Structures are given as C-alpha cells and as structure tokens.
C-alpha cells in the first residue's frame, strides 16, 4: 500500500466514523462571512466549546462588520475575555474588520495571498476560510490534523505548513476540504499520541 492508498484507507474509515457527527466546530454555522473569519481568528488555541458561545454573545452586541470595526477595543476585549489570548486576538480582529472595509469593500477575500495580509490570519485560518466560505479546495492544518497525520505516518513533518504541502501532494483535491473537520473530531476524541488508540477508535 503506497502513501496515497494508506491515506485514503485511513481517511475513509475516519469519515465513516465521524461524518454523521452533529458537533459544531468554531468555524462553522455563522450567518455572515465576516463572522466566520473573526471567529476563526479567536478559535486558535481555544476550545470550540468556549469560543462558539462567547462569539455568539459578542455578535449580538456587535452585529455588523461596521460596528465591530468601530467598537472601542476595550469593549471587544470585554466581550471576548473568556477566550485564550483575547487581548491580542481582539486587537487583530478589530484591525481585520477595518481592513475588510478599507481594502476589500467589506468582503472576505477569496485567495490565500489576500487573506494572510489580514492581522491574525495565517495559512490555517486562510485555508479554512477558502473551504468554508468560498468552497475552494484547501487543506486546513491545525494541531489535530498535524498531530494525527504524523502519528499515523501519513507524513513526517515538523510544522503545520509542511504538513499542508505534503498532504497536497498526497491527497486528491476532492478530499482536501473534508480533512479538517474529520480529523479535528477524531483528534478531540483521542488525546495524546498513541497510534493504537487512534486506530482502535475507528473500530468502536
């Protein structure tokens, strides 16, 4: 079994296990594209179970991109203070909202190159936005995707960016946008780095 076949075999087992899950991730289910982007900025190194209710409440208070961009930074911080690193993320989110209005006519960009110019947006967030909002192929590599891919020997990489590039060569494009949700749900289900536990979970 070559590397591509190995990935597809494992991924299809994981997909069968987790594709019917109703669990919502932080980058899913928002009414407006800008809300998806802002929430994804906040979701880094923060549990979805914390991020989603905090951001739901924050968007009730600041329901438009304009209101978010004009809000005092102190108010944004107050609304999001339960999220890890909220001070930096609040600063970035306000600056991003302002840049969306100034540079992109209030629209969320649809290329990696434009997205990574926004404060707080790296390749992981940019890829998630491409797949979630713009329905373009992209591999969103967060800690779960990076961890699982290495534990199972699908890749041998040191950084999420290296994992993304390796998976791009390995995985047919039609699967790219599906990897993150499936592997995140799997990773939440199995902490640690025990290969046997990961594979055993697919047989439950």
Interval 137-180: pLDDT, tens: 999 999 999 999 999 999 999 999 999 999 999 999 999 999 99
Tell me the average pLDDT across 1-7.
90
- Catalytic one among 124, 136, 174, 203? 124
Helix then strand then coil, in percent of the chain rounded to 5, is 65, 0, 35
Clarify whether 124 is annotated catalytic: yes
135: left (phi over 0), alpha (psi -120 to 50) or beta: left
Question: Would you say residue 119 has pLDDT above 90?
Answer: yes
Domain segments of the chain: what residues? 3-23+139-201, 33-132
Say which CATH architecture domain 33-132 belongs to. Answer: Orthogonal Bundle (1.10)
DSSP 94-134: HHHHHHHHHHHTTPPP-SHHHHTTSTT--HHHHHHHHHHTS
pLDDT at 105: 98
Compute how many other C-beta atoms are within 10 angstroms of the C-beta atom of residue 154: 21
CA angle 101, 106, 108 (to 5 degrees): 115
In the structure, what pLDDT confidence band is assigned to residue 203 with cuts at 50, 70 and 90? confident
pTM of the full predicted structure? 0.93
Amino acid 29: pLDDT: 96
Taking CA atoms, 28 is separated from 24, 74, 105, in Å, by 6, 27, 23
According to CATH, the topology of domain 3-23+139-201 is Endonuclease Iii, domain 2 (1.10.1670)
Q: For residue 204, what pLDDT is reported? A: 80
């Amino acid at each position: 079994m070559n590397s591509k076949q190995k990935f597809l075999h494992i991924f299809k087992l994981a997909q069968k296990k987790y594709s019917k899950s109703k669990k919502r991730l932080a980058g899913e289910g928002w009414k407006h594209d800008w809300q998806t982007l802002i929430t994804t900025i906040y979701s880094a190194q923060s549990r979805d179970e914390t991020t989603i209710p905090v951001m739901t409440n924050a968007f009730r208070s600041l329901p438009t991109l304009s209101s978010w961009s004009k809000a005092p930074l102190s108010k944004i911080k107050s609304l999001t203070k339960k999220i890890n690193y909220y001070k930096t993320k609040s600063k970035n989110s306000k600056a991003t909202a302002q840049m969306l209005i100034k540079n992109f006519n209030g629209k969320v960009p649809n290329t990696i190159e434009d997205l990574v110019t926004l404060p707080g947006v790296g390749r992981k967030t940019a890829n998630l936005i491409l797949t979630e909002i713009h329905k373009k192929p992209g591999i969103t590599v967060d800690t779960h995707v990076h961890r699982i891919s290495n534990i199972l020997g699908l890749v041998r990489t040191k950084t999420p960016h290296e994992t993304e590039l390796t998976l791009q060569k390995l995985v047919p494009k039609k699967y790219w946008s599906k990897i993150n949700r499936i592997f995140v749900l799997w990773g939440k289900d199995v902490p640690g780095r025990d290969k046997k536990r990961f594979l055993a979970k697919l047989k439950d």
